[in-house]
Structure 1
Amino acid sequence: MRLCLLGDSIAAGVGSTRREDTLGPLLAGRLRQAGHQVDLRVHAVPGARSADLRSQVKSAVAGGVDIAVVVIGANDLTRFIPADVGAQQLQDAVTDLRAAGAEVVVATAPDLSVVSHVPPALRDVVSAVSRQYAQAQQQAVIKAGGTVAHVERAVTPRFAADPSLFATDRFHPSAAGYREIAAALAPAVEAIAAQRA
């Protein structure tokens, strides 16, 4: 089973000191425990925005992909990309992956209000903008035939309550943070893998 990770620094594993504690290896490990043979490829690029998915999709399709996990949106938010623009770019990426025969699982934009750099007075606004962006992404993914993994709902309260889930830069996840995100992503990925087995 060819598992590809696409997206930004979270999909790439920035913040973890060990590769095995990043999303790709964690998800691949869970699939292997379920009895699947997995070929893992990480096409994600730190700093990527939704506009950058096009080149990642081309690379994934060229190498072959059965399940694509896409984590995208944080950099769109920090660069003030309009929700409708980013959502359309994500929809195009999912559409192209589906056309290549891949199943697609997407983790939408995180709630950036939990990041410590955000001033307390702005957290409600940042949270609302993050949710609006994620909602636009969700609609785009569903329209393109992908699956939305509601990672932000599961992990936002935990990241807000536990600083150890952040890396030393206080922005990216730590190894523990990646385990939380992988656990939230895993059910959707495992269900698709079981269907394709």
Structure 2
Amino acid sequence: MTDRLRLAVLGDSIAYGTGAARVEDGLGPRLAQVLRSAGIETDLSVLAVPGAASRDLAAQVRRAAPLDADLAVVVIGANDLARFLPVEQAVAALGSAVDGLRAAGTDVVVVPAPDMSSVPFVPPAFRPVVQAACAVLQQRQAEAAQARGAVVAAVSAEVGRAFSTDPALFSADRFHPSSAGYARIAAALAPTVLAAARARRDRRAA
């Protein structure tokens, strides 16, 4: 068995890295670098698709199957919110994706939907309503993921506060993160992803 960790990143445009100035500034490459800096040699596969909603995860899970990934990071929910897709459908699709990954022997870290109220073009008067809707989806996603054995990276509030106070974290489209924004997201996710990778490595060594 290889000592290298096979990391797969699934999800939407945030998982893909849309808005980053360079490929290496995207979320997946940054998380892989975190792992490598911690002494965990990592092979990265980014399977995320810009514009994906939770219902699109099934196709990504199928693409992940031949990779025999050790760890998958799933970033999803922004497009479910932006398109007003039903929470129940989004949560069910996420649950099925986690089930599929876990059945293949892959450990899973789920990153719930972001706080969309920090997006600049959301009118201030609507931000409390948007934040509340995001919180509902985040909670349901977390419950579904945990029930299926995934680890939840509950960083939405922390990251949302950072994005709401620093416009430089957004790219030129004022929706996707900039390279600096991805650095901030990766820093928030790093402890959870690193812990999951170490736990996987320790089980492998046992």
Shorter-chain TM range is over 0.9
Aligned twin of 1:117: 121
Q: Residue 23 in 1 paired to residue 27 in 2?
A: yes
Contact 2:107/2:200 (CA < 8 Å) preserved in 1?
no
SS of the residue corresponding to residue 198 of structure 2 reads helix
Aligned twin of 1:48: 52
Structure 1 letter corresponding to 2:89: V
Aligned twin of 1:184: 188
Per-residue CA deviations over 1:115-169 (Å, capped at 9, x if unaligned) read 1111111111011001111111111101111011012122111100000000000
- Cα shift at 1:82: 1.2
Aligned length: 197
Question: Mapping of 1:167-182 within 5 angstroms?
Answer: 167-182=171-186
Query: Over aligned residues, Cα RMSD in angstroms?
Result: 0.8
Question: Mapping of 1:144-159 within 5 angstroms?
Answer: 144-159=148-163
TM-score normalized by the length of structure 2: 0.94
Aligned twin of 2:69: 65
SS of the residue corresponding to residue 39 of structure 1 reads strand
Instruction: Give the Cα–Cα distance (whole angstroms) in 1 for the partners of residues 20 and 176 of structure 2.
Output: 8
Aligned twin of 1:126: 130
Structure 1 unaligned segments of length 5 or more: list them: none
- Cα shift at 1:62: 1.8
Structure 2 unaligned segments of length 5 or more: list them: 202-206
Contact 2:27/2:183 (CA < 8 Å) preserved in 1?
yes
TM-score normalized by the length of structure 1: 0.98
Structure 1 letter corresponding to 2:195: A
Instruction: Give the Cα–Cα distance (whole angstroms) in 1 for the partners of residues 16 and 76 of structure 2.
Output: 11
Aligned twin of 1:88: 92
- Cα shift at 1:112: 0.6
